[in-house]
Structure 1
């Protein structure tokens, strides 16, 4: 199937383009970007022009920042194209609901991708937790923004989400592996004096069975980067490490074996999209984004020192 990639930035170069190239399902047939291109692939700088000239391309993968993404997605859907959305799927929940409604109206598939859910050990963690009684779950997601998001000023502007840009990856895993839904009770947000979005956050969730569920996000981490979820249950402690790439049960590495045949988060996303198209399906799970929206609504804002690159 032919696919067009809109936005040729770091995530597209590092993940999307190699995943499409290696996939038996997809052929990258066009790109849309003001600054980037792919050798041997037809390049456009105007999205409307691509939609008009390449009507043979039925699937659009959007790798733009969240704020402008709605307009592009809506245009694609109205043109009868199927749409794949990089995380987060939009700048607001209302935008995402509108896109899903529009996709249903035009009978096309739309996929809100959460790449961290496709990490190697997430499915195994979900299966192990399914019949356990959870006592406590602690998310620790701490990384260096200068290392992973250099020069990306949009993340500090309204709609950019700040530390929730990586934090939403943890929330996507949280909502995937827990057998029940949780919702936010309270939050503390550290917002640099010269920025619009938080650089750190602490979240406290309500669990229907009384378990303690908390999350700590920080973009000021130096040294070792930490992407960890620890779940204490009545039958032992499960720990996901390195964003879900590794798993431990009571400290024993690889105690659970994953049976996911594909290697890599983004190859699995593109395989999922191919399956959605084969069934005419829609996947717009917005639970991770609900938690971020609630944190920004409920969070107590603490002014912290200015942030400079």
Structure 2
């Protein structure tokens, strides 16, 4: 088994990373680093630099910190000769992400910029189905309740926290994975609460190289049923990815996932990290991040009512 340290013991770490690691035959959660969070029965450290000095034997680091401080931790880990796995988004800026990729390559270390929604059960099947189809129209609808999924996480509204693009980038990670053609953003509208820095909703329009209409609608104010859908109309039928990529319908008929896909998103991420380590490779696709950066560059800001958790 491979020893790994988990850095940043918050909600996502406890809900997803810890169970995935504890259920894996490939990984041993050997230590955690956090100012306040701990995992029962696992060695804990409060200071990352002190941890790196104390445990040179732990060669793999998984970073679950918010995006703004993540770069400093990732750079320190790589310079200390450790392989690094990044929670999404991989950083606060594209420049940070690209610098980490260059550093990992120069150090001959593995860097894995994860996109957990790409590991959803039906994403590979959707990609395969769309590969030889002519796309006519695609609509992303990603609407959820921020109070339910990110309670009290003030950092998510600050610069670098992405606002509604924190979940929206999950949709973009699926979109850029399943489409055979590369898109670029044409325009965007960002709805920003008057008491926040980050947007609470966003509407995006993309340019498709063959003229298909591609758009996305993100909203953090969805109080009833949560909606995570991608609908694609092609020359050979219509595809619906529902429940964040967990279910797929072709012309209304549901297709089932393989047993491996049903194991869960985060177990599949850690299986991928083990593969990268075995081959000495990196996986650093920053395309979803690029679309978010373009949205902030091109987006028309519309100030809306204040929002309170």
TM bucket normalised to smaller: over 0.9
Equivalent residues of 2:239, 2:249 under 8 A apart: yes
**In structure 1, distance between residues paired with 2:258 and 2:238:** 18
- Give 1:105 deviation, angstroms: 1.2
1:284 corresponds to which residue?
284
1:258 shift after superposition: 3.9
CA deviations on 1:143-169 (whole Å, 9 max, x unpaired) are 010111000000100000000000000
DSSP-derived class of the 1:73 partner: helix
Check conservation: 1:237, 1:250, Cα contact below 8 A. yes
Counterpart Cα distance in 1 of 2:261 and 2:48: 35
Report the alpha carbon displacement of residue 40 of structure 1 after superposing the two structures with TM: 1.3
The residue that corresponds to 2:300 in the other structure is 300
1:262 to partner: Cα distance: 5.9
Which whole-Å deviations, capped at 9, do the CAs of 1:282-301 have from their partners, x for residues lacking one?
Answer: 11000000000000000000
8 Å contact from structure 2 (residues 104, 110) kept in 1: yes
TM-score (normalizing by structure 2): 0.98
Map Cα deviations across residues 151-204 of structure 1 (whole Å, 9 max, x no partner).
000010000000000000000000000001001000000000011010000000
The 1:257–1:148 alpha-carbon spacing in structure 2 relative to 1, beyond 3 Å, is closer
SS where residue 248 of structure 1 aligns?
Answer: strand
Once residues 278 and 259 of structure 1 are traced to their aligned partners in structure 2, the CA distance between those partners, rounded to angstroms, is 24
- Deviation of 1:260 (Å): 3.9
Q: What 5-or-longer segments of structure 2 have no aligned partner?
A: none
| Higher mean C-alpha deviation, range 31-40 or range 258-267 | 258-267
Q: Supply the distance in 1 between the matched residues of 2:28 and 2:257 (Cα, whole angstroms).
A: 32
Q: Do the aligned partners of 1:121 and 1:245 also contact (CA within 8 Å) in 2?
A: yes
Q: Match for residue 153 of structure 1?
A: 154
Whole-Å separation in 2 of the counterparts to 1:257 and 1:270 = 19
Gaps of 5+ in 1: none
Change (3 A) 1:216 1:261: closer
Match of 2:5 in 1: 4
Other structure's SS at 2:233 match: strand
Calculate the aligned-residue CA RMSD, in Å. 0.9
Q: Where do residues 129-208 of structure 1 align in structure 2 (5 Å cutoff)? A: 129-208=130-209
Deviation of 1:253 after TM superposition, in Å, equals: 1.4
Map of 2:248 onto structure 1: 247
> Is 1:228–2:198 an aligned residue pair?
no
Name the SS of the counterpart of 1:197 in structure 2: coil
SS at match of 1:188: strand
Go from structure 1 to structure 2 and tell me whether the alpha carbon gap of 1:121 and 1:181 turns closer, same or farther (over 3 Å shift): same
SS at match of 1:124: helix
2:73 is matched with which residue?
Answer: 72
Distance (whole Å) between structure 2 residues aligned to residue 259 and residue 53 of structure 1: 40
Rounded to whole Å, the distance in 2 between the matches of 1:261 and 1:229 is 19
